[in-house]
Amino acid sequence: MVCDGLAGAPFPMAGDQRLEQEGPSREGTDQRADLSLSCCLNGRLSSLPAVLQALDRLLIRAGADDEVRGEVRLMAEEALVNIVSYAFDNDAPNTIHLHCVCTPGEVRLELQDPGRPFNPLDVPPPDLMAPPEQREAGGLGIHLIRALADSVVYDFRQGSNVLTLIRRFACRAAA
């Protein structure tokens, strides 16, 4: 499959998903214009590497440093893995939409899926002081998302879960 890259330059992506990136085609970072990425994933874990790679390229263009890029990738990966693993009743592929917009100093990720209604904000924080063998399995991904994001908002609208994650950052100067 071919997906649209920055400045309309096509780049091949593995798996059954569609990615589109929009934004200026200047070299280095561009802190004056919004950059965006839209993905439709097939609901399989095999889709994640290509999506996370495209997200990383977008974050580089937006001027995010290595730490911010790693944190945003981790938030996206944890959320997507949870959706793929738990949102659907069967193994049939289901479409997950990811839309990312980078404005100067901010990344906004919106993930939408038609799975079972699930508000991750209703999940109590894990007891990190308890010995690992006494803790319930799971819940650390949601904990990481909450810890890394500046804002986490959940909504169930038009039959879909919508999770919005915002991470603010200081822009690097263009090279």
| pLDDT in the model for residue 24 | 45
For residue 126, with 0-12 CB atoms within 10 Å meaning exposed, 13-18 middle and 19 or more buried, which class applies? middle
Per-residue pLDDT band for 33 (boundaries 50, 70, 90) equals low
In a domain, 175, yes or no: no
Total structural domains in the chain? 1
Report the CATH number that the domain containing residue 31 is assigned in CATH: 3.30.565.10
For residue 26, what are the domain limits? Answer: 2-168
45-74 mean pLDDT: 94
Cα separation of 66 and 44, whole Å?
Answer: 27
User: Is residue 3's pLDDT more than 90?
Assistant: no
